[in-house]
Structure 1
Amino acid sequence: MLWTKTCREANGYAGSARGLDKDQKTLVDTSWFQFLVKQLRAGANTFQQEYVYEWYEMEFFMYVLSSGASVAFCIDTPPAFQNGLLEALNSGRNDPPKDAMAFLQCAVVAEVSRLYDVSVWTLRDKVRELEKIRSAARYLESGLDFPRLHDLARHIIHTCEVLSVAADTVNTLLVDHRSSSGKACECAGASGHSPNPNCPHTEMRFWLGLLQNFGRRAKSLNERLSHEITLGFNLVVQRDTRATMEISSAARSDSASMKTIAVVTLAFLPATFVCTIFSMSFFTLNVDDATGEKHWMMSDRFWIYWVITVPLTVLTLICWWYGQHRGDKQGKAREPSWKSEGP
């Protein structure tokens, strides 16, 4: 069952079974469960490097025989988990529990919880780096990469999911123990209602509470990152708005300068036109040799100037109007239409 596609692609599960003989005595206890941990690589800069992460898809299968022999299969576990589990099992407890299954489950849950702790704190460092760099001058100059920030949010959401499932998995292990044995605890030293300080079930409940707290911290990180993304977007909009206002102010200043130039040109244009007309060869100043008087003389072919100038002016205006009209039509043709795009 553990090798089926459903179990391999699940985000966590837990189950148990008990084999009985004909006298209803226990022959073998079995338990199987899975934990997923998403671990980001620590030390990568939030703005300059890609997020590198790794999934720990850990599966466990345990069985305990009535003779006391027990076996635990730990599949696809990282080196940190392996070293920690071996150290915990070799720590040498003075009073080993009677329930070997609970002892093994508790040892595994403890090491898995430490992996979750590292995973959450790595995410916390990423979010805190964003919060600390916010006041730096290069915060906006570096160019906020919103897709990467949303990618970090995706990692946090995944962590929230697997932490919630991990807490449910541990709770299932505790419930399965009670439902199969019929007793709250069978550990050595427990009699009646008297508590056992070395009870693995008590320790598992501690790790269960810690996993739930890790989940709350991950949710808090998700909210903090969401606020940072919103703030960053608002700061970028504020910066762009300020730049737009500065451009608008500069444009108004340029417009005032162009207006001044246009007024000065308009003031000199009539005089320039008149000067140009009278400086043409159609007008001459003749001096009477007999009397010495000066007379303005206009050529009888002055009409040639108007015959050429007026049609040429009209043709220029027509060409300008045609160019403007054609440009407007091409601009409208390039604009996408909501009718052509569909709903």
Structure 2
Amino acid sequence: MASLVILKQVDGRFEKTSVNASTFLGTRPQQGVQFVFAKWDLLGKDNHLRDLICSDWAYPPMLWTKTCREANGYAGSARGLDKDQKTLVDTSWFQFLVKQLRAGANTFQQEYVYEWYEMEFFMYVLSSGASVAFCIDTPPAFQNGLLEALNSGRNDPPKDAMAFLQCAVVAEVSRLYDVSVWTLRDKVRELEKIRSAARYLESGLDFPRLHDLARHIIHTCEVLSVAADTVNTLLVDHRSSSGKACECAGASGHSPNPNCPHTEMRFWLGLLQNFGRRAKSLNERLSHEITLGFNLVVQRDTRATMEISSAARSDSASMKTIAVVTLAFLPATFVCTIFSMSFFTLNVDDATGEKHWMMSDRFWIYWVITVPLTVLTLICWWYGQHRGDKQGKAREPSWKSEGP
């Protein structure tokens, strides 16, 4: 059996109770202020309950559409007669989205886990003062915070029930936004602390995850901007629907009433705008961290490349030395090999048996051929190297020839 959770004032304090959904929606509110918590799946997928809330509670049918359901926020209001065409009814509907990241997850080791709070609100206020606020798909923190706030405030009946309901909801939603923004701030601050730690680059920078965090911050900036517009619309709609300016606005020359809900709503509106500015600042800080991390990685890779290049140049110089030495001895070896020159012989004296080396008297022929050939070979090698360097420089583009 479908049931609804209700906050109802009993003996000056709000208490949480549970009632049958069909019974509650089929009964007209008689007196007092009530907050009803429901799930969108319960009301949206049950045709009987959906028809009942639209016909008996003046709930706009357009809010069931996919367009409104998937919107990032909206606000509206209306004034008319109830289904019996006897009692004046004020209605107001609006939506807030909050993106909440789970706190405590390590920035580099775990995936970001988050949850969307897609909260819809509908206010139904009779001219007699009886009023009901439908809170759809609100998290448990919202319900508990609202109950605590209601019981810690003034217990006397509100003069403007619609403003009271809206202000109570906006206050709790603002607290959810505050937690959301501070959770993101902790993530960004954690990145900044890791950067100052030792072995920052060695820990491994996961740029896709950093951009994923940036995506969450951008979403928060968006919904905060829309939330501020929504609250501003509620304040403007109150004046247009009631036909007069709020008494707390000071339009008549009197000082604003500090107990008027609209004064408090303007305060929460200012806080929401400030939350939005903080979210934008977090986005800029994270953007700077991503840019700095990328530059540090590039700097590290550049240093490694320079070290490799230096080692390669050293190896190249060594190989060039070996090549020159080899080139210097190659012509002499070639001459000896091709002409089978043997200028030294070991002779044995037959009389004494002594051994001694004998050098050919034509040894000069070897030097006459070898020395010019070696010099010519080295000159050819030097000329080839010099010509290659000149051609390489000629192929390099010049900034002077490219123009501005």
TM-score, normalised to structure 2's length?
0.66
CA distance in 1, matches of 2:156, 2:227: 28
2:328–2:378 CA contact under 8 A, matched in 1? no
Cα distance in 2 for partners of 1:330, 1:27 equals 94
Paired residues in the alignment total: 343
Answer whether contact 2:98 2:176 (CA < 8 A) is retained. Answer: yes
- C-alpha displacement of 1:196: 2.3
The CA deviation at 1:263 is: 2.0
Q: Name the % identity.
A: 100
State the secondary structure of the residue aligned to 1:16.
Answer: strand
Q: How far apart, CA to CA, are the structure 1 residues paired with 2:139 and 2:395?
A: 57
The more displaced of 54-63 and 291-300 is 291-300
Aligned residue in 2 for 1:67:
128
CA contact (8 A) 2:97 2:116 kept: yes
Q: Distance in 2 between matches of 1:2 and 1:316?
A: 92
Give yes or no for contact 2:335–2:370 (8 Å, CA) kept in 1. no
Query: Would you say 1:259 and 2:316 are equivalent positions?
Result: no
Indicate conservation of the 8 Å contact 2:76/2:93, yes or no: yes
Q: 5+ residue gaps in structure 2? A: 1-61
Aligned 8 A contact 1:97 1:199 in 2: no
Q: Is the 8 A contact 1:98 1:188 kept in 2?
A: no
Correspondent of 1:242 among 296, 299, 303:
303
What root-mean-square deviation, in Å, do the aligned CA atoms of Structure 1 and Structure 2 show? 7.0
Q: Which has the higher contact order (CA 8 A, sep 6+)?
A: 1
Greater Cα shift, 98-107 or 183-192? 183-192
Residue of structure 2 in register with 1:29 after alignment:
90
> Partners in 2 of 1:320 and 1:135 — Cα distance?
54
CA–CA separation in structure 1 for the residues paired with 2:127 and 2:92: 15
- Taking structure 1 as reference, are residues 164 and 267 closer, same or farther at Cα in structure 2, changes over 3 Å only? same
- The alignment partner of 1:138 has SS state of coil
Larger mean Cα displacement after TM superposition, 221-230 or 298-307: 298-307
1: CA distance, partners of 2:189 / 2:319: 51
Q: Is the 8 A contact 1:96 1:188 kept in 2?
A: no
Matched, 1:14 2:75: yes
Q: CA 1:322 to 1:88, structure 2 compared with 1: closer, same or farther past 3 Å?
A: farther
TM-fit CA distance, 1:52: 1.1
Partner of 1:128: 189
CA offsets 1:91-122 (integer angstroms, 9 cap, x no match)? 35144321111111111100000000011111
User: How far 1:197 moved relative to its partner?
Assistant: 2.1
User: What stretches of structure 1 of length at least 5 have no aligned partner?
Assistant: none
Q: Helix, strand or coil: the match of 2:63? A: coil
State the alpha-carbon separation in 2 of the partners of residues 49 and 55 from structure 1: 19
CA distance in 2 between counterparts of 1:322 and 1:44 reads 66
Shift of 1:38: 0.6
Tell me, in whole angstroms, the C-alpha distance in 1 between the residues paired with 2:281 and 2:132.
39
- Contact 1:190 1:196 (8 Å CA) reproduced: no
Q: Taking structure 1 as reference, are residues 324 and 265 closer, same or farther at Cα in structure 2, changes over 3 Å only?
A: closer
My pick for the range that moved more, 9-18 or 39-48, is 39-48
Shift in Å, 1:26:
6.0
How many Å apart are 1:9 and its aligned residue?
A: 0.8
Instruction: Report Cα offsets for 1:185-234 as digits up to 9, x if no partner.
Output: 36899998353221111000000000000001111111111111111111
With 308-317 and 146-155 compared, the bigger mean Cα shift is at: 308-317
Worse overlay, 194-203 or 269-278: 269-278
